[in-house]
Structure 1
Amino acid sequence: MDQRRRWEPAAVIEPFPSTIRRGYLDAELCGEFAQLHFRSCGREEAPLVLLLHQTPSSSAMYQNLMPLLARDFFVLAIDTPGFGNSDPLPATFPGGISIAGFADAIYRAVSSKFDRPALVFGHHTGAAIAVQLAFDQPAFVRALALSGPTLLTDEQKAALPLAAQTIAADAEGAHWQRMWQRLRAKDPQAELSLSQREALLAFTCGDYYEASYRAVVEQDVVPQLAAIQCPTLVFAGGRDLLRAAVEPTVQLLPKGRAAELPEDAGTYVCDRQPAAVAELLQPFFLEIVRAG
């Protein structure tokens, strides 16, 4: 009698709703094949929430926030083209590196896989992309949430690209120290591991760091905000350099409303105070879902 065990396929392991999974979405951009890296969390059949990150970060900045939203939503955080593990925009892409280009690539990739509208949240550069996405694809964006809206003053427009100038590699490693000091200055109280992650991501994206800031400056955001018809929630932390833009942004939006984050919240609020962000996003997005 043959005592050998017969092979049987392993049981499929279902992840917990709070488990963060990773993968790639495909997009055709100007006839070229591109892949955008994502993190996802929650049940795929739940209402779709799309998270868009700041510069020079990646979807990694949402790892603490995503599980807090996963009970009610399918949460999808995308690496912007050229950042994290996403391919850059093709060299032949119309307009070069632009907010419109980022929004178009993200829309193509997400809509090709998930054929339904999304609730969209963006932080800083991600907020600029979110506005562009709602302006260009109004049927795709059910509601919008903006943290640190990019309605910039003339002084901010002049300073922003200078704050992200490319730091050339140095044989002695001085470039590491310069980048470390730049990113620590954003929040000197941030965990060292967070600053280290951001420094690595800043070097990974290369020239896209400065180029994305220039793209934010060049975006014609005022008429876009005025044309957006979906409900929009706008907020910023007390230490966010873009906090002063909250009220003017709300005034431009036909269906805008303001909310508040803690006074000690800054540029890394999604990493460091995810519960405060979730407490704003969850009821707002649920309100939109329940309204149908």
Structure 2
Amino acid sequence: MSWVIDMSAIRRGYIDTRIGQIHYREAGNSDLPSLVMFHQVPSTSAMYEVLMERLANQFHIIAPDMPGFGGSDALNEAVTIKAYADILHEALLALGIHQCLVFGHHTGASVAVQLEYDFPGFASKIALSGPTLLDQALKDLLPKKSFAFPVEDNGSHLMLMWERVRAKDPDATLALSQRETLTGIALGDTYPDAYKAVIDQDYATQLASVKCPVLAFAGTEDPLLGQLDNALALVENGEKAIIEGARTYVCERNADEVSALLTNFFK
């Protein structure tokens, strides 16, 4: 399904941090409850534009590009989920956000949990789409799915990235697949770094430390669906939801269902 987005509802800005600038998208009135959204990789905050438009009348939404993605400057240290969370926390404080609702999808779910682990109480509630509690099989598989394609004179690396993106969801719109392909290409040799950071994160320990309410959900076609119950078993106050037929791009292709879940959970 193709969505027409009212881009006038979404604003953009930059925040100065110790690594440079963090780019973010913003929607909603600042008097509304603050909701921070962390994107998956190799996406950017552009993946949340559909959701932001739907939720802008209920929340003040901040969706940053993680360091090295979209319009944000890259880390000047080793890439870890902790390093991502530290810089994003610094950026959010600079915006005057000291406590908020938090939503993360896939890698964004890694960042969301790391943020609350390192800064307890920063999140009043956390929603996780595809929690990244990886078993050994997934940890072994991920590097095979996330290596960088060397740049070739004949441009074959462009087609390889396109095929990788389309394989995630063959029914996604061509515009969505093109956006994700170009984002992946832009990462160059750094493409695998965020995936390795997810593998290295001690997600189980961090998730078990979370005290605030947690909503964990996944689509029936999400490769992380099998870890959903194990993730929920680690939290003190958890809710579960499953979206029929949803895949990697659930936040866009199933935006109505996701926005309803978030509205009901965050109310």
Give the TM-score range, shorter chain: over 0.9
Contact 1:234 1:257 in 2 (8 A): yes
Task: Name the residue aligned to 2:41.
Answer: 55
SS in 2 for 1:206: helix
Mapped to 1, the partners of 2:148 and 2:162 lie a distance apart of: 13
SS in 2 for 1:65: helix
1:184 equivalent to 2:174? Answer no
Tell me by how many angstroms 1:17 deviates: 11
1:153 equivalent to 2:135? Answer yes
Task: Name the residue aligned to 2:18.
Answer: 28
Tell me by how many angstroms 1:134 deviates: 1.0
Tell me by how many angstroms 1:153 deviates: 1.2
**Residues 252-263 of structure 1 aligned to structure 2 (within 5 Å):** 252-261=234-243, 263=244
Mapped to 1, the partners of 2:185 and 2:102 lie a distance apart of: 27
SS in 1 for 2:252: helix
Mapped to 2, the partners of 1:56 and 1:223 lie a distance apart of: 25
Mapped to 2, the partners of 1:281 and 1:161 lie a distance apart of: 31
Q: What is the TM-score of this pair, normalised by structure 2?
A: 0.95
Tell me by how many angstroms 1:283 deviates: 1.4
Mapped to 2, the partners of 1:258 and 1:271 lie a distance apart of: 20
Aligned length: 262
**Closer/same/farther in 2, CA of residues 283 and 204 from structure 1, 3 Å limit:** same
1:250 equivalent to 2:232? Answer yes
Mapped to 1, the partners of 2:72 and 2:54 lie a distance apart of: 25
Greater C-alpha Rg? 1
Q: Which of the residues 253, 264, 267 maps onto 1:283?
A: 264
Q: How far does the alpha carbon of each residue in 1:107-137 deviate from its partner, in whole angstroms, 9 at most, with x for none? A: 0011121233110000000001111011111
Q: Which of the residues 123, 144, 147 maps onto 1:165?
A: 147
Task: Name the residue aligned to 2:185.
Answer: 203
1:41 equivalent to 2:30? Answer no
Q: Which of the residues 65, 69, 73 maps onto 1:87?
A: 73
Contact 1:184 1:195 in 2 (8 A): yes
Mapped to 2, the partners of 1:45 and 1:209 lie a distance apart of: 38
Tell me by how many angstroms 1:254 deviates: 1.2
Tell me by how many angstroms 1:245 deviates: 1.1
Tell me by how many angstroms 1:173 deviates: 0.7
Higher helix fraction (1 or 2): 2
Q: What is the TM-score of this pair, normalised by structure 1?
A: 0.87
Q: How far does the alpha carbon of each residue in 1:220-269 deviate from its partner, in whole angstroms, 9 at most, with x for none? A: 111111111011000000110001111110100111121122x2110001
SS in 2 for 1:129: helix
Mapped to 1, the partners of 2:97 and 2:163 lie a distance apart of: 43
Task: Name the residue aligned to 1:3.
Answer: none
**Structure 1: gaps (5+ residues):** 1-15, 287-292
CA RMSD of aligned residues (A): 1.3
Contact 1:18 1:70 in 2 (8 A): no
Contact 1:61 1:270 in 2 (8 A): yes
**Residues 234-245 of structure 1 aligned to structure 2 (within 5 Å):** 234-245=216-227
The more displaced of 203-212 and 271-280 is 203-212
Mapped to 1, the partners of 2:86 and 2:254 lie a distance apart of: 30
SS in 2 for 1:247: helix
Q: How far does the alpha carbon of each residue in 1:124-164 deviate from its partner, in whole angstroms, 9 at most, with x for none? A: 00001111011111121111000001011101001112211
**Structure 2: gaps (5+ residues):** 1-5
Contact 2:92 2:98 in 1 (8 A): no
Q: Percent identity?
A: 45
Contact 1:18 1:67 in 2 (8 A): no
